Structure 1
Amino acid sequence: MSNFDERSGIVPCTASWGHWYQTMEEVFLEVKVSEGTLAKEIKCTIKPKHIMVVIKGKTVLEGTLYEPVQADEAVWTFEDKKLLRICLPKAYTTADHCWKSLIQGQYEANPWTFDQMEKKLTLERFQKENPGFDFSGADLSGNYHGGGPQLPS
């Protein structure tokens, strides 16, 4: 995670298998796995518009991603034999590409969570556009949907 994420925290969207969250550039999944699972029992297939996660022969999640990802750059790690972390680099990396759901029609953020996700991505954009300023503790009000207002020059 970037320094901005470490300072500002994440806005997770909870699912039966764990949770997912996003930055302007990436979508992260944290999948709970039953203890004692071996890495060889995990199959993670990532394509530009599709994801499938199978653990011990059981499909945990599968479907068409909300937006395309750079599948060749995606990575997954298996930590402490109980947590599967997946990093999906977004194909579109601007604040106006805030994912409303992980998979089309599944794991949708509720309105409050999506609102918080949009705020975070907008603040992240401001941070990138204004290096040297710390927006991690900032609060945003007004209309920021679709990437937010432009800061005055």
Structure 2
Amino acid sequence: MPLSSEEYDKLTTEEREKYDAGERQREREEQAALPYAWSQQLGDVDIVVPVPKGTRARDLAITIAKKKLSVGLKNQEPIMAGELCQDIKVEESAWTLEDQKEVQIHLEKVNKQRWWENVLTHHPKLDTTKITPENSKLSDLDGETRGMVEKMMFDQQQRQMGKPTSDELKKMETLKRFQAMHPEMDFSKAKIS
């Protein structure tokens, strides 16, 4: 039985560790009982649904919608079906049949800053406060975000060494070009701010 946050706060360190271990075990058992396996990153969810060996793509009935998911064999009860716990980008989500024995589904989250508690709202929930994400690498980032992070890292290093940041360097370069175009002007008192 999950504790309220007030009850949890009253536990000693040892009681919390024991409670957390029990909760993780309960979550593992609940997830193992589902008819699929799933994993997630902040931006997406991947689901593997076992199907009978020899299944062909044309035997499948799969629906991926912004807030709904259904996976099964035609003319049979779905293996999994229901409302997704969060919205997805349908146009960036897809499924494939691997080795005629499992359906692999990739769902792109609309909100890429939120962990999912579950895939379908009626299935057991995970405690998302206990998720420890993998360290991301710069190569995992999209071009614009990567550029911004690299700029921030460069500026941080420059400040630590007492050197100008990238913005200050750009301003200095612009001033140099302007000076070259206007040698008749006196720039001795020019300040870069």
Q: Shorter-chain TM-score category?
A: 0.5 to 0.7
53 and 82 in structure 1: CA distance in 2 versus 1, 3 angstrom threshold = same
Of 132, 141, 145 in structure 2, the residue corresponding to residue 119 of structure 1 is 132
CA distances 1:67-126 after superposition (whole Å, capped 9, x unpaired): 1000121110001000110000000112xx0001111121423x4xx455x2116x4499
How far apart, CA to CA, are the structure 2 residues paired with 1:85 and 1:42? Answer: 12
Aligned pair partner of 1:89 in 108, 115, 137: 108
Structure 1: unaligned runs, 5 residues or longer = 1-11, 132-153
* 2:67 paired residue among 49, 71, 86: 49
CA contact (8 A) 1:74 1:88 kept: yes
Structure-1-length-normalised TM-score: 0.63
Aligned to 1:139: none
SS at match of 1:108: coil
- 1:62-101 to structure 2, matched below 5 A, reads 62-94=81-113, 97-101=114-118
Q: 1:103 aligns with which of 98, 120, 124?
A: 120
58-67 or 13-22, which deviates more: 13-22
CA distance in 1, matches of 2:124, 2:96: 21
In structure 2, C-alpha distance between the alignment counterparts of 1:104 and 1:125, rounded to whole Å: 31
Q: How many residues align?
A: 113
Note the alpha carbon deviations across 1:48-77, whole angstroms, 9 max, x for none. 111111224231111111110001211100
Q: TM-score, normalised by structure 2?
A: 0.51
Relative to total residues, which structure has the larger helix share, 1 or 2?
Answer: 2
Q: Tell me which protein shows more strand as a share of its residues.
A: 1
> What is the identity percentage for the equivalent residue pairs of Structure 1 and Structure 2?
23
Aligned partner of 1:119: which letter?
T
Alignment root-mean-square deviation, CA: 2.6
Higher relative contact order (CA 8 A, sep 6+): 1
SS in 2 for 1:44: strand
- In structure 1, how many angstroms separate the alpha carbons of the residues matched to 2:119 and 2:98? 22
The residue type paired with residue 51 of structure 1 is L
Q: State whether structure 2 residue 79 is matched by structure 1 residue 60.
A: yes
Shift of 1:39: 1.1
Question: C-alpha distance in 2, partners of 1:125/1:64?
Answer: 33
Counterpart code for 1:26? D
Paired with 1:115 and 1:14, the residues of 2 have a C-alpha distance of: 20
Larger radius of gyration: 2
SS in 2 for 1:40: helix
